Amino acid sequence: MSETARVRARALGLAPGIFPPGAHNAITDVAGVRVGQVTLIEGDATRTGVTAIIPHPGNPFQDRVPAGLAVINGFGKLAGATQVAELGEIETPIVLTNTLAVGRAVEALVDWTLARPGNEQVTSVNAFVGETNDGRLNDIRARGVTREHVLAALEGAADGPVAEGCVGAGTGTMAFGWKGGIGTSSRLLPEALGGWRIGALVQANYGGVLTMDGIPVGHELGRWYLKEHTDRGDADGSVMVIIATDAPLSDRNLTRLATRAMAGLARTGAAFSDGSGDYALAFSTHPGVRRTAERRAHQAIIADWPNDRMSPLFQAAAEAVEEAVLNALTMATTVIGRDGRTGRRAKGEAIDLDALRAVLVRHGRGA
């Protein structure tokens, strides 16, 4: 199996959906959104990291963005979730990391928020931190992620292309029995449908029967959940999905948008198993819906895209999430680590792109 020339899904002929991607085919195609990542590969056991998403260049606490949360299977440790569900907004950047690093990430986000100019009187912060368990390849009990790593991801956040595969919070993750990771994608709506942008970023660490743009890749490559009725290992895990849009959506319609992200996961063959945490958060960056300090203090008219024009956004979200997962898989490389439960050497094998190309050719795709 070749570990060279890892490529994104589109380079293999996989282009889910009907809408075109943005310039970077990434969540950062939504103007103002920035992503920062810290990858921790230390010794023979630490394989983990941090991925941070900042919604806009201003002060996220003072200029809060509306948000909606969808949960299919709630086996997770999602910090800040109940306040998002209650108030329909986020007031910090979004941080993704491993399960046992959530506490440290919350502390770092609180420190980062309190240090922003204008937050000198703040006494309560709802830090939003998502996670997946990367203990198959990472010595998760060693708790390698520190406050400083989270702060470095936040301070290093930038627009433009986003690194994918075995980076940041995806360094030690697995998906469908292969090496998973961070993936991202975007979609552009035509002007007749609003001209809005949708971007998705996933932390892929879940399983099922892998399907890539409608092609039963997992079945054809002989690796899938419940094969011979004994293999549970390829289904349990978790997935975090973050969706950004510049459409002026209410928190209610953002919740609807986040729910449609699950359609994108389903198209990849997700099992949504008992031990999986399946979460999606959607937020809007549109200036007309930001909940500024002035708007929170006084009654204000807020822009709101109508319900009967939401369907194209739903379609775009599902497409972007599906392709983000495919990118996480095709960009990932094989990782050798140490199982956090047994202490034994562990291997996360990247999907063989040559074998994948052969499958695609049999289905009339690729070169």
Domains of the chain: 9-362 (3.60.70.12)
147-155 vs 102-114: helix axis angle to the nearest 10? 50
For the entire predicted model, the pTM comes to: 0.96
- 284 included as an active-site residue: no
* Given the residues 185, 273, 276, 284, the one annotated as active site: 276
Average pLDDT, integer, range 62-67? 98
Q: What tokens does 60 get?
A: 């996220």
* Given the residues 238, 250, 273, 284, the one annotated as active site: 238
311-331 vs 251-267: helix axis angle to the nearest 10? 50
24 CB burial (10 A radius; 0-12, 13-18, 19+): middle
Is residue 21 a contact partner of residue 29, using CB atoms and an 8 Å limit? yes
| Eight-class DSSP state of 117 | T
Cite the beta strand spans of the chain per DSSP E. Answer: 34-42, 46-54, 65-74, 89-90, 94-98, 128-132, 174-175, 178-179, 181-188, 197-205, 237-245, 276-284, 335-338, 345-348
Average pLDDT, the chain: 94
Cβ neighbours for 100, distance < 8 A, ≥ 6 positions apart: 140, 141, 143
Give Cα 205 to chain centroid, integer Å.
10
pLDDT recorded at residue 3: 55
pLDDT recorded at residue 299: 79
For the chain, the 3-state helix, strand and coil shares in percent, each to the nearest 5, are 30, 25, 45
- Cα 108 from Cα 52, distance rounded (Å): 11
Q: What tokens does 267 get?
A: 């198209």
Confidence class for position 228, pLDDT limits 50, 70, 90: low
Phi and psi based region of residue 226 (left: phi greater than 0; alpha: psi -120 to 50; beta: remaining):
left
Q: What is the pLDDT of residues 66-95, one digit of tens each?
A: 999 999 999 999 999 999 999 999 999 999
Q: What is the pLDDT of residues 321-351, one digit of tens each?
A: 999 999 999 999 999 999 988 989 999 999 9
- 278 included as an active-site residue: yes
Out of 36-50, 189-203, 226-240, least confident range: 226-240
Average pLDDT, integer, range 6-28? 98
- 311 included as an active-site residue: no
* Given the residues 29, 159, 234, 278, the one annotated as active site: 278
